[in-house]
């Protein structure tokens, strides 16, 4: 189950509908055959071409998104995304472009392209040290998606200063010093626990922000299996803020904690999100309640 990004990126809505597989190799300087236009699906070859050219970052951004969205296994996809990961561009508010937009989208795409993207783990680890916290966030999520065990120690170092350090408010912004939510989720997804890792994560269950508490409880539940962390997530399903209830739903689904079935069913949130959480219980969970009861609850919500 995908992490819950705190910086969602909007993309043209019709872009992911064409899953055509292209066999032809595309040169790095290949011409992009058609302008980017909303409502015009493109092929894999076109996405590769858009990412390969260097004149128009918006085309690269779109190409990177498409390759990740369609889980491309084209042999040029990962090398081009690794190259895009090294691009650094300033934010352009007038064009609605975030800082290092292409590199961030390349990181997100790489997280979706296992097993080929395992070759990019070292690149993503390098990006984890970048001064751009948004880029670090994208890299952390990708490393979690790739289950990159080599990322455990670097991520723990980022979080080691705890809620008063890594989790402190960045002066002049609403962001934290580190993208704690993504870093915590990545540790849970990688799944390599041990006392040193648990000791780094546990202080964040007392963070002032409920989304950070939820991410920490999710990671601890995934790493330790201890019921108390599932109970903490269930408590967050009753939080007055809808955003927090949504996050707790996704975190329970990601952890596959089946005892949360009834609390999930009763949560005041969209049925679509409750269905996603229940699907996580089916796909990732074990034990009681058994799968037939979970599926019956899903049918009830449809």
Domain count, the chain: 2
Residue 30 has pLDDT above 80, yes or no: no
Domain-embedded: residue 259? yes
The per-residue pLDDT of the chain, averaged, comes to 87
Domain-embedded: residue 272? yes
Task: Judge whether 111 and 143 are in contact, CB under 8 Å.
Answer: yes
Q: What is the pLDDT of residue 286?
A: 87
Domain-embedded: residue 130? no
Domain-embedded: residue 281? yes
> CB neighbours (10 Å) of residue 146?
24
Q: What is the pLDDT of residue 96?
A: 56
Domain-embedded: residue 237? yes
pLDDT digit string, tens, across residues 132-172: 999 999 999 999 999 999 999 999 999 999 999 999 999 99
Band of pLDDT at residue 20, cut at 50, 70 and 90: very low
Which carries the bigger pLDDT value, residue 98 or residue 289?
Answer: 289
- What is the span of the domain harbouring residue 251? 225-302
pLDDT digit string, tens, across residues 37-95: 444 678 999 999 999 999 999 999 999 999 999 999 999 999 999 999 999 877 665 55
Domain-embedded: residue 150? no
pLDDT digit string, tens, across residues 115-131: 999 999 999 999 999 99
pLDDT digit string, tens, across residues 196-205: 999 999 999 9
Domain-embedded: residue 82? yes
Q: What is the pLDDT of residue 71?
A: 97
Residue 181 has pLDDT above 80, yes or no: yes
Question: What global pTM score does this model have?
Answer: 0.84
Mind spelling out the 3-state secondary structure of the chain?
CCCCCCCCCCCCCCHHHCCCCCCCCCCCCCCCCCCCCCCCCCCHHHHHHHHHCCCCHHHHHHHHHHHHHCCCCCCCHHHHHHHHCCCCCCCEHHHCECCCHHHHHHHHHHCCCCCHHHHHHHHHHHHCCCCCHHHHHHHHHHHHHCCCHHHHHHHHHHHCCCCCCCCCECCCCCCECCCHHHHHHHHHHHCCCCHHHHHHHHHHHHCCCHHHHHHHHHHHHHHHCCHHHHHHHHHHCCCCCHHHHHHHHHHHHHHCCHHHHHHHHHCCCCHHHHHHHHHHHHHHCCCCCCHHHHHHHHHHHC
Domain-embedded: residue 188? no
């Amino acid at each position: 189950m995908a992490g819950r990004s705190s910086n969602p990126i909007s993309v043209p809505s019709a872009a992911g509908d064409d899953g055509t597989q292209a066999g032809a190799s595309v040169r790095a300087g290949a011409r992009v055959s058609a302008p980017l236009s909303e409502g015009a699906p493109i092929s894999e070859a076109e996405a590769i071409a858009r990412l390969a050219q260097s004149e128009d970052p918006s085309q690269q951004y779109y190409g990177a998104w498409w390759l990740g969205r369609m889980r491309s296994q084209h042999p040029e996809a990962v090398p081009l995304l690794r190259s895009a990961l090294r691009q650094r561009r300033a934010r352009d508010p007038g064009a609605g472009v975030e800082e290092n937009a292409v590199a961030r989208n390349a990181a997100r795409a790489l997280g979706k392209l296992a097993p080929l993207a395992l070759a990019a783990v070292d690149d993503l680890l390098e990006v984890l040290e970048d001064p751009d916290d948004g880029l670090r966030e994208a890299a952390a999520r990708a490393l979690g998606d790739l289950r990159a065990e080599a990322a455990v120690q670097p991520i723990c170092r980022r979080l080691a200063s705890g809620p008063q350090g890594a989790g402190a408010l960045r002066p002049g912004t609403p962001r934290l010093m580190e993208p704690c939510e993504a870093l915590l989720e990545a540790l849970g997804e990688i799944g390599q626990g041990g006392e040193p890792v648990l000791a780094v994560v546990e202080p964040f269950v007392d963070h002032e922000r409920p989304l950070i508490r939820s991410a920490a409880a999710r990671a601890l539940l995934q790493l330790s299996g201890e019921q108390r962390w599932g109970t903490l997530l269930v408590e967050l399903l009753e939080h007055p803020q809808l955003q927090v209830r949504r996050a707790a739903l996704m975190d329970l689904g990601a952890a596959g904690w089946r005892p949360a079935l009834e609390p999930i069913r009763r949560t005041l949130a969209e049925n679509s999100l409750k269905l996603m959480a229940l699907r996580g219980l089916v796909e990732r969970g074990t034990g009681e309640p058994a799968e037939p009861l979970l599926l019956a609850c899903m049918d009830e919500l449809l």
